[in-house]
Amino acid sequence: MTAETPTLVRIAPSILSADFAALGQEVRAIEAAGADWVHIDVMDGHFVPNLTIGPAVVKALRPHSTLPFDVHLMISPVDGFLDAFAAAGADIITVHPEAGPHIHRSVQHIKSLGKQAGVSLNPATPAKMLDYLIDEIDLVLVMSVNPGFGGQSFITSQLRKIEAVRKMIDKSGRDIRLEVDGGIDANTAPQAIAAGADVLVAGTATFKGGPDAYAGNIRRLRGA
């Protein structure tokens, strides 16, 4: 993985909220504005009720940024696409336990491709789902909205889950990132951080106002 900004809390703008007619420029703009990762939401219209992008778009974007590509696969079945997204330039590949059929096998395969492996927990998916995965993974993504669409409101019950996952990570003694995605803005970011998050996915809050506003938007999130 490429070098990252040495900050306590990483900001990973979700390009789901970017201008899709100018994705290359948008990725360059958020890197220049101080983003730490590029978060790429991949949806299949089956596992979640929306359809976004595939490996070809990730490959096309890769030359536009040196930042880690944080690819969140909301697709099912997921295993058949892991190789393609790895080859396209993903650095972190995150999958859902429900996208199976075998989450442990999926994690093992991601690691075999030389990529960091993440597991994403939907709002109704308990932290306990990680009991037999915590020693294998590099990232936990807590969804603070139901996956599928940007611009949703933060589900406050997920704060308890973030706290529970943070305890699991600390107990493991491993270097595992705790990422939160959904409804993150200047008001909810401090709550997520206080609960234990160290990576914030922010789409609307990053991209509002156009490229001239991106640096200020990211500073406000990081300042939380």
- Domain harbouring 65, CATH code: 3.20.20.70
Q: Which residues sit in the known binding site for substrate?
A: 14, 72, 148-151, 181-183, 203-204
2 domain residue, yes or no: no
51 domain residue, yes or no: yes
4 domain residue, yes or no: no
Q: What is the pLDDT of residues 74-123, one digit of tens each?
A: 999 999 999 999 999 999 999 999 998 899 999 999 999 999 999 999 99
Here the tokens at position 46 are 């089956």
Q: Which residues sit in the known binding site for a divalent metal cation?
A: 39, 41, 72, 181
Question: Helical H runs in 113-157?
Answer: none
65: number of Cβ within 10 Å: 20
Stretch 6-31: mean pLDDT: 92
Three-state SS at 23: helix
Q: Which residues sit in the known binding site?
A: 14, 39, 41, 72, 148-151, 181-183, 203-204
d(CA 197, CA 164): 11
User: Quick one: DSSP state of residue 147?
Assistant: T
Domain that holds residue 74: 10-223
* Residue 15 or 150, more confident: 15
109 domain residue, yes or no: yes
Q: Is 41 a catalytic residue?
A: yes
204 domain residue, yes or no: yes
Domain count, the chain: 1
User: Quick one: DSSP state of residue 178?
Assistant: E
32 domain residue, yes or no: yes
Residue 149: the pLDDT is 75
Which residue out of 36, 44, 138, 181 is catalytically annotated?
Answer: 181
Q: What is the pLDDT of residues 169-178, one digit of tens each?
A: 999 999 999 9
3-state helix, strand, coil in the chain (%, to 5): 40, 20, 40
Q: What is the pLDDT of residues 28-58, one digit of tens each?
A: 999 999 999 999 999 999 999 899 999 999 9
Question: From the CA atom positions of the chain, what is the Rg in Å?
Answer: 16
The mean of the pLDDT values for the chain is 94
Ramachandran angles phi, psi of 39, nearest 5°: -95, 125
55 domain residue, yes or no: yes
Is residue 138 pLDDT above 90, yes or no? yes
Is residue 2 pLDDT above 60, yes or no? no
Beta strands in the chain (DSSP E): 10-13, 38-43, 69-74, 92-95, 116-121, 139-143, 177-181, 199-202
Residue 223: the pLDDT is 84
| Residue 207 vs residues 15, 19, 41, 42, 76: alpha-carbon distances, Å | 8, 9, 15, 18, 28
Portion of the chain with pLDDT greater than 70, in percent = 96
Ramachandran angles phi, psi of 211, nearest 5°: -55, -35
Residue 151: the pLDDT is 74
**Inter-residue contact 205 to 16 (CB < 8 Å):** no
Give the residue from 10, 17, 25 showing the smallest Cα distance to 205: 17
Which residue out of 36, 41, 44, 91 is catalytically annotated?
Answer: 41
